Amino acid sequence: MSDGELLVLSREDPDAFAEIYGRHAEDVLRYFARHTLDPNAAAELTAETFAEAFASRHRYRERGSPGAAWVFGIARHQLSHYFRKGAVEASARERLGMHRVEVSAADYERIEELIDFERVGRAIAKAMSTLSEEQREVLTLRVIEGRSYQEVAQLLSCSEQTARARVSRGLRRLGRLLDAEPELEIGRQA
């Protein structure tokens, strides 16, 4: 059965959704791992993506694109929310009564393998070098140094809202540059 057929079937037979998960969970996890470089966030984002897909499967409509594209659309939305808010949303998991994802040491190592830090590191360095100085500075402060938005705002002499907007713009730009990097194959599943 196609992904679309399984999504439609899962409305009446929720167990059919397990096949969707089995087919795409690792690709979604890889997508998040390479975008966040954080195994815990990647695992939680994957769980939230599939919880949201399950909770909203009744809204899926086959419109010529594969069911996997629909799942990756949810994943892109989750990633966008994560970058905007700086936290993984848990609303779909809460609605379904699911618990927080606990990443074991073995899972953590497996997710790190999916990231391939050496290759991703080269791509990030290349992408960072093409950003404006302002974008490099704000991403260095927030992402690399892990400073709070309040600290970033103080260091840049701007409001916290402005700091958040600058980080968000920088991350979106960096994401587009990484998506275009042929050797990474980031975001090409959808």
At 189 the pLDDT is 41
Residue 81 shares a structural domain with residue 123: no
Whether residue 185 lies inside any domain: the answer is no
For residues 50-70, average pLDDT = 86
Q: Which of 35-44, 136-145, 180-189 has the highest mean pLDDT?
A: 136-145
Q: What is the mean pLDDT of the chain?
A: 84
Number of folded domains that form the chain = 2
pLDDT at 185: 53
- Is residue 44 a part of any domain in this protein? yes
> Is residue 92 situated within a structural domain?
yes
Tens of pLDDT, residues 108-156: 777 777 767 677 778 888 888 899 999 999 999 988 888 888 999 999 9
Tell me: do 101 and 82 sit in the same domain: yes
The 10s digit of each residue's pLDDT in 100-121 is 777 778 777 777 777 676 777 7
Ranking 55-59, 92-96, 131-135, 136-140 by mean pLDDT, the lowest is: 92-96
Q: Does residue 186 carry a pLDDT above 80?
A: no
The verdict on 34 and 63 lying in the same domain is yes
Do residues 152 and 104 share a domain?
no
Q: Are residues 15 and 79 in the same domain?
A: yes
The residue range of the domain holding 103 is: 3-112
Task: Say whether both 29 and 105 belong to one domain.
Answer: yes
pLDDT at residue 33 is higher than 50: yes
Q: 3-state SS string over the chain?
A: CCHHHHHHHCCCCHHHHHHHHHHHHHHHHHHHHHHHCCHHHHHHHHHHHHHHHHHCHHHCCCCCCCHHHHHHHHHHHHHHHHHHHCCCCCHHHHHCCCCCCCCCHHHHHHHHHHHCHHHHHHHHHHHHHHCCHHHHHHHHHHHHCCCCHHHHHHHHCCCHHHHHHHHHHHHHHHHHHHHCCCCCCCCCCC
Look at residue 21 and tell me whether its pLDDT is greater than 90: yes
